[in-house]
Structure 1
Amino acid sequence: MSRLTTQLTFQIAGMRGPAGIITADLAALEANVVELADRTETIAAAAQSAVALASLAVPGFTFGLGFATVDKTGRGFVLGPPSSSTTGASSEIARGFTFGMGLATVDARGAGSAVIEPAGVGFIPQEIGTYPARDVAMTSNFGTVRLTYSQGDNAAPQVTPTGVRWVNTSAAGASSILSVDLPANPAPVAAGVTEISMIAGIGQSLSIGAKGGTPDPDGIIDPSGHLMMFSGGIMPGADNTTTPIPDSRLGPLVPLQAGAQERSVYPRAGNRLRQAVGASKAILMGTFGVGGAAYGSLLKGTVPYSRLVRAMLRARLLAWTGRLPVKMRGLICIHGEADREALKATYMAWLNVWRSDFQTDARAIWNDAGLILPMFVSQVSSWTHYNIARSEVPLAQLQVALDSPALFFMVGPKYHLPYVDNQHLTGPGYAQHGEEIGRALAAVANGGTWDGSWSPLRAGSATRSGTTITVTTVGGVGNTVIDTGVVSDPGNFGVTYRDGSGAQVAVSGVTVSGSTIQFTIASAVAGVAEFGMRGIPGNGGGPTTGPRTCFRDSSTDTYADGTTMSKWMAHCEVPVA
C-alpha cells in the first residue's frame, strides 16, 4: 500500500470503536477512500510526468477544458476554449497537455494526437520573462521567435486558426486581447537564398526621400526576390511622430518597388549591397524616419523608435515562419539638420546612445548577446540654410566613426549632389547618394562576412613650417584632386583656418600634390585647418551654394548611369601645432 493510502487508512482506523470493531458502513467508506487514494496517486504521478515533459519545451501546460494554463510556479492564466487548430485531434485533448514542439498532444488516457497549427507551421506559444514585463514567443524546431517586446505585460498565449492571441496589460493597467496572424507565404525570396539581411533607415526628411519626386523610375530593381521590402512599402509608416505602424503594413515581404513612394536612397543602396553579397542572401530595406524630427523626437521611447523595433520583430517573425534566418545588419542614419546647433560632444553622445539602444533591442529580439549593429551615417551638408555659418554636427558624425570604427561608418558629405531646394536632394541626387551608401555597405559586408571597413576622404594630419601648412589626406583612392567642374569654388577651394582664440586667419595659395594639400596662412600661428566647415548663412546646400570643398579622390567607381562616383572630402578639421 502506498504512503498516501497508509496515511488515509490510519486516519480511518481512528474512527473504530473502543473494541476495534469496524462497522459495515465504515468498512465500505474505508474501501472507497483507499481506492480513491490509489487513483489520486496515479493521477498525481501522471501530472508530474506531464509537467516534466512540458518543461522540456515550454514553461507550462494546458489542462482542464483548455480554459487555463499553469506555469511551473503554479500561476494560472485564462486562455479560452480550445482553438479549431486542433481539428482532428482526440476529443479528450483538452484534458491532456501539449509538449515537444507543439506538434502533438497527450490526453488524460495517454493517447497521442497530431495538432495542425496555422499556416502549416508547427509551434507552441509561450511566455518569456517575468511579471510585469512578460513577452509572448513561439517555439518550433526552427527556434524561438518573439511576438512582443517592450510592450507592457503579455500573458496567456493561445493558438488561433490564423496565428496566436494573448492578453496584454499596458503600463497604465489597461488589458486587451492582442493577436498576430501568420501569413501563408511570408517571405517569397529567390530560390537559393539562405539568409535575409535587414537594413533600416532612421533620421529626418532626407532619410525618407522627401521631395525626391514620384514615381521613382527605377521601378522594381530585382523582381527575382533578392531585394525586398515590407508590404507597406519602403516607408511603411506615416511621416509623423504619433502613429504606430499596423501589422498589415508589415505583412509579407515583397520585391522592393522603388516607384511606390518618393524616390529615396534605399533602392540603389540595397541593390549595390545585393550585388556585393551574392545570390545566397536577400536584402530587406525599409526606412522609419520622420521629416523635421530632432533627436529628441526619435530616441528610445518615442513612436518612431518603436516603429523600427516593431519592424525588427515582424521581419524576424516573417523569416521564421518561412524557415529562413534573418539578420539585422545595419542602420542608415540621415539626420542632423534639426539639431544643427548641437555641440560636437552632445551630438556624438546622442549618436552613441541611439545606436546602442537599437543594438540592445536587436540583441533581445534575436536572442543574440553578441550581435553588433553598425550605424552608417550620412554627413549633414546644408546647415547654412538655417542662417548659421558653421555647425559642429558634421564633425560629430565623422568623429564617432573615427572613435568606434567597428560601430559607426561615416559614408560621406552631400554637398556635391543636386538639391531640389535649400535642404532636400533631387530624385537623381537621392539615387546617387543611395549608391554611395550602398558602396559603404558593400565594403563593410565584405562579400557577406560583415567584417570589412570603410573610410571617407578626410584630413588625417597636418604640419606647419612658419606660415606653410601641409595637410595629409586619408581614406581616398589614388590622388586627391581639385575639381571645380562639379563643385564651384567657394574661395580657397573650401579651406579655412582659425587660430587658438577661434579667430579666422587668412588663407592663400592652396595646392594639391598626391595625397597632400598645402596652403599659406597670413601669420605663423598654431590653430586648426578647416575643410568645408564654413558657409554663407541663409544659403541652401549644394555644389554651388552650400558649405563645401572642391577636393575629391581619384576613385574609378561609377554610378549606375556610368558617371564617376568619387569620394568627396568630408566636412572636417585637423589641429595644427
Structure 2
Amino acid sequence: MPICAGRWLPPEMEADAPGGAEGPKGELVLYVGLGQSLLALTPRSRPLGEKPGFVDPARAWVFSATGDPKVAGNPLADIPEEAFAMLYPHQRMGRSGPLTAASAEILSALGPQDLLLTVNLARRGAALSYFEPEGGTASFQNFQRCLERAAEIAGERGLRFTRTVVSWVQGQADARSIRRRYAKRLGLLVGDLEAAHLAVTGGVGRLYVCLSQATATAAVPAIGPALAQIDVARSRRDRVFVAGPEYMLERSDGVHLTPQAAVYLGALHGRAIARVLMGGTWKPLQMERAVVEGDRVVVTFEGGIGAIVAHDVGGQVAGGYRIGARAVPDLGFRWSDPANADARIVEVGIVGPRQVALRLSHPPVSVTGCELSLGFPPDIGLPEGFVAGDPSTGRGGCSMVRTVGDGARKLGLELHDWAIQQVIGASHGKDR
C-alpha cells in the first residue's frame, strides 16, 4: 500500500492517492480558517448538519486523525510539529464547522489531480490582534508552519503549491473598535499573510482572503468591524472578497451558529472562493448607487446571484427558520439628510430585478452629505442573531433584502444572497 504524507492508505483508496506517479501533476491548495467561534465552535444542538462521510477521499485532506480541520484545542498557542506530520481524509460530521462545507464547494473549482488541505486555526473570543505577527500569540507562526508543511507535501506529491485561501470570520471581540482602526489593522494583517505565503512559494502565486461580514450591533456605523471589513475588501479587491453577511444565520445562543447554520455559512464561503479560484470575481449583494429625483430615491444593487426580493416574514412560524431576518421598518433602509432632520422614508418597494424605490417625506434640496444606510434598523442591539428558529428574537443589524438565488440548496435550504450592511452617499438624477 502507498504512503500519503506518512499515512498508510487503505486498499480502496490506493488508486485515488493524490499525485500518484502515474497521474498528471496537479495543484495543492491550502485553505485556512482564521477568526473566532463562528469558525471554531459548533454547539451541541439539533438538528445536526450534514451526514457523516468523506468530503472527497482522494482530494480533501486535513492534519487531524479525526477527519476535522482542527489541529489543536488552542491554535493561539504553539502547535507542535507532530500535529502537522500526517494527512488524513477530511470528513463530514453532524457538528462540522463551516470549513467542511466550504471545502466541498471549493473542490468544484479544482481538478481531479488537485489536493485541498484544510486547516482550522480559529479560536473563540480571539481579537484581530491575536492573529498579527507580533500579537502576543503563536497564531501567525502556526500559519507559517501550515504554509511550510503544505509546500513540503506538494513537493513530496509532485504538486504545485501557489495558492492559499483564508476564510476570515471574526468581529465580535472587536465590536467596540473604531471603523478606521479595524480596517487599517485588517489590511495590514492581509499584507502579512500574503507576505508569508510568498516567502514560502518563492514569490509565486497568490493568497486570497474571503470574509463574511460581522453583524453590527451598534447604531453608529463608525463603530465596529462590519463596515471596516467592506472597506478592506474594496481597497484590496484583487485579494479580499466578501462572501456575504452573517445576520440571517440562526444561532444557538444569540451568537454561536447552530450546526445547520454553520453548514450554510460554509457553503456561502465555498461558493465565493470557488468562483475566484476559477478565475472569476465575486461580490456580495450590495447597494451600488442611490439616485435622487425629487422625493424619490432609486437604489440599484449589484452582486449575488438572482433578482432581489423582499424577505417575506408574514408567514413566519416561530421555531421553523434556520435562515431568516426579523421584520424591520422599510426593509432595513434609513435615510439621513443633514439639512433636514425630519426627512424620512415613507414608502419602499422593489421596482425591478435589481432596484428598490424609496419615497421621502421631504425631498432633499441638496444631496451633499445625504446618506442611505441598509442593515442598521432602529432596534439594533444584542443579541446579534436569532434563536430557536424565530427571527424576531434577534436584535443585530439586518435587512429584509435578499436574492431569489439560482436553485442551489444546502441541507434543503436554498442559498440566497442577503444584502450586506452598508452606508452609501446619494447623487442627483441630473448628475448622472
TM category, shorter: 0.7 to 0.9
Moved more, 356-365 or 187-196: 187-196
Q: Which residue of 2 aligns with 1:568?
A: 418
1:179-203 Cα distance to aligned partner (Å, 9 max, x none):
xxx8376995376472221111111
Matches within 5 A, 1:322-401: 322-367=157-202, 369-381=203-215, 383-384=216-217, 390=221, 391-401=223-233
Distance in 1, Cα, partners of 2:339 & 2:71: 49
Distance 1:198 1:502, change over 3 A: farther
Distance 1:550 1:184, change over 3 A: closer
User: Is 1:423 aligned with 2:223?
Assistant: no
1:569 partner letter: A
Matches within 5 A, 1:315-326: 315-326=150-161
Matched residue SS, 2:287: strand
Distance 1:478 1:428, change over 3 A: closer
1:40-86 Cα distance to aligned partner (Å, 9 max, x none):
xxxxxxxxxxxxxxxxxxxxxxxxxxxxxxxxxxxxxxxxxxxxxxx
The answer to whether the 8 Å contact 2:306/2:404 transfers is yes
Instruction: Work out the percentage of aligned pairs sharing the same amino acid.
Output: 21
Matches within 5 A, 1:397-546: 397-446=229-278, 451-485=279-313, 486-500=324-338, 505-514=343-352, 515-525=354-364, 526=367, 527-534=370-377, 535-542=379-386, 543-544=391-392, 545=394, 546=396
If you compute each CA radius of gyration, which structure gives the higher value, 1 or 2?
A: 1
Match of 1:556 among 388, 391, 406: 406
User: Which structure exhibits the higher relative contact order, with contacts defined as CA atoms closer than 8 Å and separated by 6 or more residues?
Assistant: 2
Matched residue SS, 1:290: coil
Matches within 5 A, 1:98-109: none
User: Is 1:254 aligned with 2:88?
Assistant: yes
1:459 Cα deviation from its structure 2 partner: 0.3
1:484 partner letter: D
Distance in 1, Cα, partners of 2:116 & 2:342: 47
2:235 partner letter: D
1:511 Cα deviation from its structure 2 partner: 0.4
User: Is 1:292 aligned with 2:152?
Assistant: no
1:491 Cα deviation from its structure 2 partner: 1.4
Q: Which runs of 5+ in 1 are unaligned?
A: 1-118, 121-181
1:226 Cα deviation from its structure 2 partner: 1.2
Q: Which residue of 1 aligns with 2:318?
A: none
Moved more, 208-217 or 544-553: 208-217
Q: Which residue of 2 aligns with 1:195?
A: 27
1:153-179 Cα distance to aligned partner (Å, 9 max, x none):
xxxxxxxxxxxxxxxxxxxxxxxxxxx
User: Is 1:268 aligned with 2:101?
Assistant: yes
Distance 1:503 1:277, change over 3 A: farther
Distance 1:276 1:365, change over 3 A: closer
2:384 partner letter: G
Matched residue SS, 2:192: helix
The answer to whether the 8 Å contact 1:185/1:322 transfers is no
The TM-score normalised by the length of structure 2 is 0.82
Q: Which residue of 2 aligns with 1:221?
A: 54
Matched residue SS, 2:174: coil
Match of 2:6 among 177, 183, 191: 183
1:419 partner letter: R
1:415 Cα deviation from its structure 2 partner: 1.5
The alignment's C-alpha RMSD in Å is: 2.7
1:217 Cα deviation from its structure 2 partner: 4.3
The answer to whether the 8 Å contact 1:209/1:265 transfers is no
Distance 1:213 1:285, change over 3 A: farther
1:469 Cα deviation from its structure 2 partner: 1.4
1:567 Cα deviation from its structure 2 partner: 0.9
1:512 Cα deviation from its structure 2 partner: 0.6
Distance 1:503 1:356, change over 3 A: farther
Matches within 5 A, 1:93-242: 183=6, 188-189=17-18, 192=23, 194-211=26-43, 217-231=50-64, 233-239=68-74, 241=76
Distance in 1, Cα, partners of 2:37 & 2:383: 19
The answer to whether the 8 Å contact 1:432/1:559 transfers is no
The answer to whether the 8 Å contact 1:421/1:540 transfers is no
The answer to whether the 8 Å contact 2:335/2:344 transfers is yes
1:291-321 Cα distance to aligned partner (Å, 9 max, x none):
1111122211331121111111122223323
1:332-385 Cα distance to aligned partner (Å, 9 max, x none):
100111112223222221121111101111111121x2432111011112x42x
The answer to whether the 8 Å contact 2:208/2:239 transfers is yes
Distance in 1, Cα, partners of 2:300 & 2:176: 29
The answer to whether the 8 Å contact 2:6/2:87 transfers is no
1:480 Cα deviation from its structure 2 partner: 1.5
Distance in 2, Cα, partners of 1:504 & 1:287: 49
Distance in 1, Cα, partners of 2:192 & 2:263: 29
The TM-score normalised by the length of structure 1 is 0.62
Count, aligned residues? 388
Distance in 1, Cα, partners of 2:342 & 2:204: 47
2:371 partner letter: V
Matched residue SS, 2:140: helix
Distance in 1, Cα, partners of 2:107 & 2:86: 20
Matched residue SS, 1:493: helix
The answer to whether the 8 Å contact 1:294/1:339 transfers is yes
1:570 Cα deviation from its structure 2 partner: 0.8
The answer to whether the 8 Å contact 2:174/2:224 transfers is no
Distance 1:320 1:533, change over 3 A: same
Moved more, 562-571 or 425-434: 562-571
Q: Which runs of 5+ in 2 are unaligned?
A: 10-15, 314-323, 428-432
Distance in 2, Cα, partners of 1:465 & 1:197: 49
Distance in 2, Cα, partners of 1:277 & 1:426: 29
Distance 1:504 1:418, change over 3 A: farther
Distance in 2, Cα, partners of 1:484 & 1:422: 22
The answer to whether the 8 Å contact 1:379/1:394 transfers is yes
Distance 1:503 1:411, change over 3 A: farther
1:465-486 Cα distance to aligned partner (Å, 9 max, x none):
2332111111133421111244
